[in-house]
Amino acid sequence: MRRFLSLTVVCVTLPFSIALGQDQSKIAQAESEYARIQGLVEAGALPRQALDDAADARDEARDEGVLRALLYGRVSIENLTEEQAREMVEAADRRLERKARRLEAAKRKLDAGVVPFTYLTPFLEDLDASRRVRELALARARLFEELVTMVRTEDNAEFAEEEADQDLPHMERFDGVGSFTTAQFQAISVAYEREFGRPLPVSARGETALHRAWGFDHRGRVDVALFPDSKEGRWLRKFLEALRITYLAFRAPRPGMATAAHIHIGEPSTRIRRAD
C-alpha cells in the first residue's frame, strides 16, 4: 500500500526559544519602550506616529532575534525544524518590507524638500543589506527543503522497490557486511576529496531534527547529495561496494524531483514511530 506523508502532518511540538540572551533583552527593551509610548500617545502627549515607530522598532528587534538564531549559525541546518525554516524566511521578508517602507517615508521627506538628498543614503543601504539577508535566508531554506525531500524519499523507500519496472529503479540497495562506522565515513570523505578536489556533499550526517520529526532513527547513517548515476555518484557507489558498506541509492521518486536523489550510506533508517 502506498502511503505518503504530507508535510502538514509533521508537527514540531518542541517549544524553542529563538531569541536568546542579548536579543532577548533588546526585544524586552523594545517592548517596554512600546508600552511606554503607548501610554503617552493615549494621554495625548505624543502623536500617533510615535506609536507606529515604536511598533516598528519592536518588530525589527524580534525579527533580528529570529534571524540571528536561525540564519547566522546557532541552529545548524540539521537541527532546523520545518517551522523554524518558515519563520526564518518570514522574518527576512518582514524586514525587507519594513526597510522598503522606511525608504518610501524618507523619499516623501525628500520630495517635500525638508531633507537633503544624502538623507536617503542610509535607507538605501539598509534596504540593500536586508535584501542580501533575505537571499541568504532563501538559500538556507532551499538547502533545508532538499533535506525534507530526501527524508520524504526515504519514507517511500519500501514502495520504491515495488516499482522497479523501469530501466532505472527509484531505489537500489546494496547489502554490505557489518555496520557502517565513523572510521569508514572518514575514509570515504578523504578518498572522495582526493578524487574530486572538493568535499563530499553530505546533506545529513546522523540524526537530524527533521528525521526525528518524521519518525526515523537516522543515527549512524549519512545522506550524500549526489545523483546515483552522476560520475561522482557512480564513483561513491563503487567505493562503498568495494568496502562492502550497505547503502541505498535513491533516484527521484517522480521525474523532475531531482533534489530528492541521494545516496544513503548505512542500514535503512528504522522507524521510531509511525506517523499514522
Residues that bind Zn ion (CB under 5 A): 223, 264
Angstrom distance (rounded) from CA 109 to CA 247: 63
Torsion sign (Cα): 97, 83, 72, 27:
positive
Q: How far is CA 163 from CA 11, 153, 227, in A?
A: 30, 14, 19
The helix or strand, by DSSP H or E, that contains position 74, with its residue range, turns out to be: none
By beta-carbon proximity to Zn ion, the closer residue of 140 and 262 is: 262
- What is the widest separation between alpha-carbon atoms in the chain? 79
Residue nearest to Zn ion (CB): 264
- Minimum Å distance from CB 218 to Zn ion? 6
Cβ neighbors of 211 (< 8 A, separation 6 or more) are 151, 204, 217, 218, 269
Query: Smallest distance from the beta carbon of 269 to Zn ion, in angstroms?
Result: 6
Q: Which residue has the cell 533583552?
A: 25
In the complex, the smallest distance separating the C-beta of residue 222 from Zn ion, rounded to whole angstroms, is 7
Which residue number, 134 or 264, has a Cβ lying nearer to Zn ion? Answer: 264
Closer by beta carbon to Zn ion, 70 or else 248: 248
CB of 257 to Zn ion, least distance (A): 16
CB 178 within 8 A of CB 184: no
Nearest to 153 by CA among 101, 98, 86, 203: 203
CB of 201 to Zn ion, least distance (A): 13
CB 187, min distance to Zn ion, A? 19
Class of residue 83 by CB neighbours under 10 A (exposed 0-12, middle 13-18, buried 19+): middle
Minimum CB distance to Zn ion, residue 136 (Å): 26
* Parallel, antiparallel or unpaired: strands 262-265 and 222-224: antiparallel
In degrees and rounded to multiples of 5, residue 27 shows phi and psi of -65, -45
Question: CB of 275: closest distance to Zn ion in angstroms?
Answer: 17
Nearer to Zn ion, 16 or 159 (CB): 159
Judged by beta carbon, residue 81 or residue 269, the one nearer Zn ion is: 269
Nearer to Zn ion, 71 or 222 (CB): 222
Select from 235, 222, 227 the least CA-distant residue to 266: 222
Minimum CB distance to Zn ion smaller for 58 or for 264: 264
**CB of 90 or CB of 241, closer to Zn ion:** 241
Where helices occur in the chain by DSSP H, the ranges are 21-42, 48-70, 82-111, 121-155, 157-160, 182-196, 209-213, 231-242
